[in-house]
Amino acid sequence: MNFEFYTASQIIFGEGTLSRTGPLASKMGKKALIVLGGGSLRKNGIIGRLTEFLNSAGVKSGFYEGIAKEPEVETVDRGVETALGFGADLIIGIGGGSVIDTAKAISGVVTNGGSVRDYLEGVGTGREITKPALPFIAIPTTAGTGAEVTKNAVISSSEEKFKKSIRSPYLIPKAAIVDPQLTWDVPPSVTAACGMDALAQLIEAYISKKSQPFTDALAIYGIPYVARSLGKAVKNGNDAEARADMCLASLLSGCALANSGLGAVHGIAASLGANPGIPHGLACGILLPHIMKINMRFDLRKFAHIGEALTGKRFESEEQAAEAGIEFVSELAKETGIPGDFRQFGIQPELIPQLAEGSKGSSMSGNPAVLSQGEIEGLLGSLI
């Protein structure tokens, strides 16, 4: 058996760990470009605290903010210009997965040159990240993507209608600071979508054709955390235990997917995110039980383990356990406000072939079932 395992050089987890950013950053650089999204982190004082921690450690802060939900090529390229103009020797990404992906891509392109588009799988020029990225600290404020420990960044183009990855071991953050307190202000709908994304990542990493012992252990350990705590976190954002559980589940999912890949849920969700722009976590939550039904027959043993991990029960047969797991996911999605289909988005039927074709990216390669164009079109047709 041969396998490799990548993750961040250092992971710091726990309430209040944001305070460790200053001493950590000072070991990596003296001028940190902080990449962030909208104004919420400024309003709730998190950015103020972060800059104080950095200042006290002798690290100067610059800012690149306003990152949209789906970072685009131009967003990253402007960030590279900002980093170079500021003279940054360190990048800090604080926010959701899109912010962290933006910061991650900036850290790699700054040292390797060109446009981020050059490096994107399937649409770029085939250019690769060959030089170490700027040191990068990832600080997630949502619990879902696991981007703080992955080696890829997902970048979109609304003009060209694509959503592709820049990928390299050089892009793995030097450190991930996971402070569950930073997620307390996340709205219920975002908590639900991010949580379903984390669950999809755990399940897909576990059943992936590229799975390996390390990822299996992380994924099956992480699944119960979502099962017991996502509903609680959606209902009460200040539930400290539930928030910590979801942050841990997300972290574990990132460690797993970075090494075993994903599957059809993320393949199709990427296409739906590129056009017509359905939010990623929401798409994953809608697709997950349907893809589980398709994949179940290809690895009934693992799906039985998933069913037991989700429900905390033992069953008379593997098939009963697997079916119970799928039902649990469906009910969890419903409980947390995830729609059962895509009908509210008004997707036109004539778009289905394009969506199916766009699903055939790197994520799909790990799916247990090899899905034809017709099968993907049939699934999408049943959901719109």
HEC string of 326-378 equals: HHHHHHHHHHCCCCCCCHHHCCCHHHHHHHHHHCCCHHHHHCCCCCCHHHHHH
Q: Which fold has domain 10-183?
A: Rossmann fold (3.40.50)
23-41 pLDDT, tens per residue? 999 999 999 999 999 889 9
Does pLDDT of 275 surpass 90? Answer: no
What does pLDDT average to over the chain? 96
- Predicted confidence at residue 344, as pLDDT, reads 93
Distance CA 226, CA 299 (A): 22
Under the banding of pLDDT at 50, 70 and 90, the label for residue 53 is: very high
Q: What is the pairing mode between strands 31-35 and 60-64?
A: parallel
Question: Between these two residues, 300 and 158, which has the higher pLDDT value?
Answer: 300
CB contact at 8 A, 173 and 137: yes
pLDDT score for 129: 97
The mean pLDDT of 102-127, rounded to a whole number, is 96
Confidence of residue 65 (pLDDT cuts 50, 70, 90): very high
- Token pair, residue 140, equals 């997630």
What was the pLDDT predicted at 360?
Answer: 87
Residue 70 has what pLDDT?
81
Q: Tell me which CATH code domain 188-383 carries.
A: 1.20.1090.10
**Least confidently predicted of 65-74, 185-194, 278-287:** 65-74
* Sheet-wide strand order for 175-178: 10-13, 175-178, 136-140, 90-95, 31-35, 60-64
C-alpha span between 183 and 276 (Å, rounded): 28
The per-residue pLDDT for 69 is 78
pLDDT at 155: 94
Tokens of 383: 């959901």
Question: What is residue 93's predicted lDDT score, i.e. its pLDDT?
Answer: 98
pTM: 0.95
Question: What letter would DSSP give residue 58?
Answer: T
Residue 103 pLDDT class (50, 70, 90 cuts): very high
- Under 8 Å between Cβ of 133 and 88: no
Q: How confident is the model at residue 158 (pLDDT cuts 50, 70, 90)?
A: confident
Q: How far is CA 68 from the centre of its chain?
A: 15
Domain boundaries, the chain: 10-183, 188-383
Quick one: average pLDDT of 299-310? 98
Task: Write down the pLDDT at residue 162.
Answer: 87
Per-residue pLDDT tens over the stretch 216-256? 999 999 999 999 999 999 999 999 999 999 999 999 999 99
The pLDDT assigned to 247 comes to 98
How far apart (Å, rounded) are the C-alpha atoms in residues 222 and 151? 20
Per-residue confidence at 277, pLDDT binned at 50, 70, 90? confident
Q: Quick check: 79 pLDDT over 90? A: yes
pLDDT of amino acid 137: 98
Confidence of residue 274 (pLDDT cuts 50, 70, 90): confident
The CA R_g of the chain, rounded to the nearest whole Å, is: 20
